[in-house]
């Protein structure tokens, strides 16, 4: 019996355990503690939170043979467009000019027009759009492997972190010919051309649009239904001290390592922590969501004074840490590692070690002004998240 299933089965009613035996391998661990009622979508009857499928922009509707879309709720064909124009050469050190207004920056063999460089994006600290662009240049080597080959949802703040924002999924026109896209067909028949950010020039282009943080899909474009990791989004419910959040992360880590799952942790750059598990690609996004849900419910059951997995905000007990498994649903995104967040002090979603979590830190210890130096000293603490070896096989 797979270890994940054994851990859950010990406290599961006999009828549910019997039902689990007939489920697909990748979801047996989840089925061990799920009940028919619990598998119903938590957002039924309510407007769900924004996902990668939400946007201000219009989608192109492409009719399929017989008038029916090829995509279904569990299968979404996708196609990658390749860049035209000059190839992406590896640039040397790039310094964004400290000028007012607009400028054209040469990145390898490509030219990127940057606008409103002197606009203040973080009023509390006086940081400008130019400072934001320079930050992303400085961390690009660590960041790009984590967002490469993935559709990107744009969350645009044209007037900075203190201003209004809007989501946009379609790569806007006009755009440089070398911006690549991932065209994803949805069950409605709509095909959405998401931008793909693979290099420094594309990174500068998307940040220049007013994207403060980056929100990439969990699955690569060649199969958008099969993610490369599952994760647990830990959010405080109400006024929860950060020490409780650290304790929650350590409890989650203990459970996952007990299942032989490798774990990676980062700050969200906002109020919480993210715990990721790299997996062997194969299970669908729905399978991964189911596994994450089961583990989350079991964690909340075993630690009721610390954790909750109740998704309905009005029903959550106060003073707990939410283990949010629903962010594993298809089309959802989380802020990427090394993303600056639209917070007053320009805090960054930063990889940390489990020793650091144990010792303690403040979430605003990691900011746009100091994370590049941390990365230069420590390297990318999440580099092995993308490695082919050491991934957890959910089908075991």
Please check the confidence at residue 5 and state whether its pLDDT lies above 70. Answer: no
Give me the sheet containing 273-278, strands edge to edge. 307-308, 321-324, 229-236, 273-278, 264-267, 351-352
Q: Running DSSP on this structure, what letter comes out for residue 294?
A: H
DSSP class of residue 367 equals B
Q: Tell me if 188 sits within 8 A of 179, measured CB to CB.
A: no
> At a CB cut-off of 8 Å and minimum separation 6, what does 31 contact?
16, 19, 20, 23, 290, 294
Distance CA 282, CA 198 (A): 23
The pLDDT of residue 86 is 61
pLDDT classification of 64: cutoffs 50, 70, 90: very low
- Cα–Cα distance for residue pair 220/26, rounded to 1 Å: 19
Helix (H) or strand (E) holding 61: strand 60-61
Give bridge partners of residue 105 from the DSSP assignment: 112
Residues in the chain: 396
- Locate all alpha helices (DSSP H) within 232-335, ordered by sequence: 242-258, 285-302
Pick the residue with more confidence: 210 or 78?
210
Coil, strand, or helix at residue 251? helix
Asked whether the beta carbons of 20 and 32 are under 8 A apart, the reply is yes
Query: Which CATH architecture is the domain 3-39+226-386 placed in?
Result: Alpha-Beta Complex (3.90)
Give pLDDT, residue 87.
59
Residue ranges of domains in the chain: 3-39+226-386, 60-216
Name the packing angle between helices 129-138 and 371-378 (round to 10°).
Answer: 10
Instruction: Please choose, from the candidates 284, 309, 296, the residue with its C-alpha nearest in 3D space to the C-alpha of residue 394.
Output: 284
Average pLDDT over residues 88-114: 87
The rounded distance, in Å, linking the Cα atoms of 337 and 146 is 7
Q: What percentage of the chain reaches a pLDDT higher than 90?
A: 71
Q: What was the pLDDT predicted at 90? A: 64
> pLDDT tens digits, residue range 189-228?
899 999 999 999 999 999 999 999 999 999 999 999 999 9
DSSP label at 253?
Answer: H
pLDDT tens-digit readout, 322-363: 999 999 999 999 999 999 999 999 999 999 999 999 999 999
Which is more confident, 103 or 93?
103
What pTM did the predictor assign?
A: 0.84
In this predicted structure, the answer to whether residue 43 has a pLDDT above a threshold of 70 is no
């Amino acid at each position: 019996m797979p270890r994940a299933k054994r851990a859950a089965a010990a406290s599961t009613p006999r009828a549910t355990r019997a039902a689990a035996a007939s489920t697909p391998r990748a979801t047996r661990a989840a089925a061990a503690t799920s009940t028919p009622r619990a598998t119903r979508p938590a957002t039924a009857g309510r407007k769900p939170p924004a996902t990668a499928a939400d946007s201000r922009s219009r989608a192109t509707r492409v009719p399929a043979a017989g008038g029916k879309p090829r995509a279904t709720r569990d299968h979404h064909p996708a196609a990658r467009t390749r860049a035209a124009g000059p190839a992406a050469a590896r640039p040397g050190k790039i310094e964004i000019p400290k000028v007012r207004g607009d400028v054209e920056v040469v990145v390898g063999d490509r030219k990127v027009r940057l606008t409103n460089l002197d606009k203040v994006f973080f009023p509390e600290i006086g940081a400008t759009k130019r400072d934001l662009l320079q930050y992303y240049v400085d961390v690009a080597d660590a960041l790009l492997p984590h967002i490469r080959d993935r559709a990107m949802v744009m969350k645009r703040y044209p007037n900075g972190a203190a201003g209004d924002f809007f989501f946009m999924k379609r790569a806007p026109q006009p755009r440089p010919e070398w911006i690549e896209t991932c065209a994803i067909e949805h069950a409605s028949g709509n095909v959405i051309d998401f931008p793909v950010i693979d290099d420094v020039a594309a990174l500068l282009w998307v940040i220049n649009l007013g994207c403060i943080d980056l929100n990439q899909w969990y699955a690569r474009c060649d199969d958008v239904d099969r993610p490369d990791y599952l994760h647990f989004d830990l959010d405080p419910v109400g006024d929860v001290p950060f020490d409780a959040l650290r304790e929650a992360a350590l409890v989650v880590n203990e459970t996952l390592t007990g299942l032989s799952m490798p774990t990676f942790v980062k700050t969200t750059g906002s109020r919480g922590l993210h715990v990721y598990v790299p997996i062997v690609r194969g299970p669908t996004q729905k399978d991964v969501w189911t596994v994450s849900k089961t583990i989350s419910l079991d964690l909340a059951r075993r630690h009721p004074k610390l954790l909750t997995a109740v998704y309905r905000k009005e029903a959550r007990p106060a003073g707990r840490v939410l283990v949010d498994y629903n962010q594993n649903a298809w089309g959802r995104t989380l802020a990427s590692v090394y993303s600056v967040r639209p917070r007053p002090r320009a805090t960054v979603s930063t990889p940390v070690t489990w020793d650091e979590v144990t010792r303690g830190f403040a979430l605003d210890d990691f900011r746009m002004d100091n994370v590049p130096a941390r990365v230069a000293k420590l390297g990318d603490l999440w580099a092995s998240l993308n490695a082919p070896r050491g991934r957890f096989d959910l089908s075991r």
